[in-house]
Amino acid sequence: MMKNSAVNQQIYKVLCKGCNNILTRDEAISGKVIKLNNDLYHINCAKCSSCETTIGIRAAYPSSVGTFLCSECNLMANAPKCHACRKSTFEKCVSAFDVHWHQSCFKCRKCSRPFQRMEYIIHKGFAYDEDCYYQETLNILKDDEPIKE
């Protein structure tokens, strides 16, 4: 019993991890204190470590030690990577032959033109339009930069 009351007293002497001011009991009772990654914050002091927006009552996701991300940034961090540019495909993306692409990155590997009616041919892990595919496969020995496996 003694132990419990000691713990309760301690909670209300905790500093906000964001602004380093004491979190008051009133603030805690009125729902202005939130707990993230086992640290307590004023509701307006908890910010996403990536975009710095206030987390508020939204969900937060722990990232590396002691920091957390808002749901948008978390999505971004965990989104599949674009096969062409290796950046996260958080925005609109296409998924083709089991890999993800930004819409703007999904184009012919050789001539960089977007595909008409999504017609493409897979060659060594990349997409080519029909013309380039034949050029690529027929002229592979003459190519200046042969694609290495």
Q: Which residues bind Zn ion (CB under 5 A)?
A: 16, 18-19, 42, 45, 48, 50-51, 70, 73, 82, 84-85, 102, 105, 108, 110-111, 129, 132
- Compare residues 18 and 36 and give the one whose CB is closer to Zn ion: 18
Q: How far is the CB of 12 from Zn ion (least distance, A)?
A: 14
Decide: 102 and 82 in contact? Cβ < 8 Å: yes
Q: How far is the CB of 68 from Zn ion (least distance, A)?
A: 9
Q: How far is the CB of 130 from Zn ion (least distance, A)?
A: 8
- Compare residues 8 and 80 and give the one whose CB is closer to Zn ion: 80
- Compare residues 9 and 77 and give the one whose CB is closer to Zn ion: 77
CA distance 33 to 43: 5
How far is residue 94 CA from its own chain's centroid? 17
CA distance 23 to 3: 21
Q: How far is the CB of 132 from Zn ion (least distance, A)?
A: 3
Helix, strand, coil fractions of the chain, as percent rounded to 5: 25, 25, 50
- Compare residues 19 and 140 and give the one whose CB is closer to Zn ion: 19
- Give exposure, 6-27, as e/b (b: 16+ Cβ within 10 Å): eeeeeebeeebbbeeeebeeeb
